[in-house]
C-alpha cells in the first residue's frame, strides 16, 4: 500500500494540463494503485495524478465507499445544477460554495485500456468534475466569482504554505 503525499497550491504541476495516457502498461497500473491507496485515506473523495506530482490524465475517486479510477476522462451529458461547499486536498482547510452540474457522464478507460463509462449524480458528479478540472490545470477556486473569490484568494495567501 502506497499513500502518496499531496501537492499543495503553488506547485506548478497543479496548474499544468496533464498529458493524455498512451501507455496502459505496468507503470499505469502502479500509478492507479497509488491513487486508489491515497484516496482511501479518511476524508478523501478524489485524487488526481497531478496532486501526487504525476502529469497524466488519471484520477481516483472514493464516493459512498466505492473506490474507482478513470483514465483520459471526458465529461459529457451534464444536466441540472447543485451548489454545495467544496474543498480540495491541495488547498487544505478551505471550503467554499461551488456550483457544479448535478449529473454528468464521464467516459474514458480503466487501467487496462478497456472503455469505461461512469454516470454520476450528486456528490459523485461533483467529484468527477472536480478531478477532471485538476487534469486540465484548474482548481475549484477558479470557478468562484465576486466577493467569494476575493475571500478565497485572501484565505489561500494566509493559510497555504509557500
Q: CA-CA distance, 75 to 64, in Å (whole number)?
A: 21
* Three-class SS state of 95: strand
* Three-class SS state of 122: coil
Q: CA-CA distance, 105 to 25, in Å (whole number)?
A: 26
* Three-class SS state of 69: strand
**Topology of domain 12-159, per CATH?**
Peptide Deformylase (3.90.45)
Known binding site: residues?
A: 88, 130, 134
Known binding site for Fe cation: residues?
A: 88, 130, 134
Number of residues in the chain: 162
Cell 491515497: give the residue.
Answer: 38
Q: In the prediction, which pLDDT does 158 show? A: 80
Instruction: Give, for all 162 residues of the chain, the pLDDT tens digit.
Output: 799 999 999 899 999 999 999 999 999 999 999 999 999 999 999 999 999 999 999 999 999 999 999 999 999 989 999 999 999 999 998 999 999 999 999 999 999 999 999 999 999 999 999 999 999 999 999 989 899 889 988 888 887 665
Please tell me the pTM assigned to this model.
Answer: 0.94
| Residue 55 CB neighbours (<10 A) | 15
Where in the sequence numbering do the catalytic residues fall? 131
So where are the chain's domains? 12-159
Amino acid at each position: 500500500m502506497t499513500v502518496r503525499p499531496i501537492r499543495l497550491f503553488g506547485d506548478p504541476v497543479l496548474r499544468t494540463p496533464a498529458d493524455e495516457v498512451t501507455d496502459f502498461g505496468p507503470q499505469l497500473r502502479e500509478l492507479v494503485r497509488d491513487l486508489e491507496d491515497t484516496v482511501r485515506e479518511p476524508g478523501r473523495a478524489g485524487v488526481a495524478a497531478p496532486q501526487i506530482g504525476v502529469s497524466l490524465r488519471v484520477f481516483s475517486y472514493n464516493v459512498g465507499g466505492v473506490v474507482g479510477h478513470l483514465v483520459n476522462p471526458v465529461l459529457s451529458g451534464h444536466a441540472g445544477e447543485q451548489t454545495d461547499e467544496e474543498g480540495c486536498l491541495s488547498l487544505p482547510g478551505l471550503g467554499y460554495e461551488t456550483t457544479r452540474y448535478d449529473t454528468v457522464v464521464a467516459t474514458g478507460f480503466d487501467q487496462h485500456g478497456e472503455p469505461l463509462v461512469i454516470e454520476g449524480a450528486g456528490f459523485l458528479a461533483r467529484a468527477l468534475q472536480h478531478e477532471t478540472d485538476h487534469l486540465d490545470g484548474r482548481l475549484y477556486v477558479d470557478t468562484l466569482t465576486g466577493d467569494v473569490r476575493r475571500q478565497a484568494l485572501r484565505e489561500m495567501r494566509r493559510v497555504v504554505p509557500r
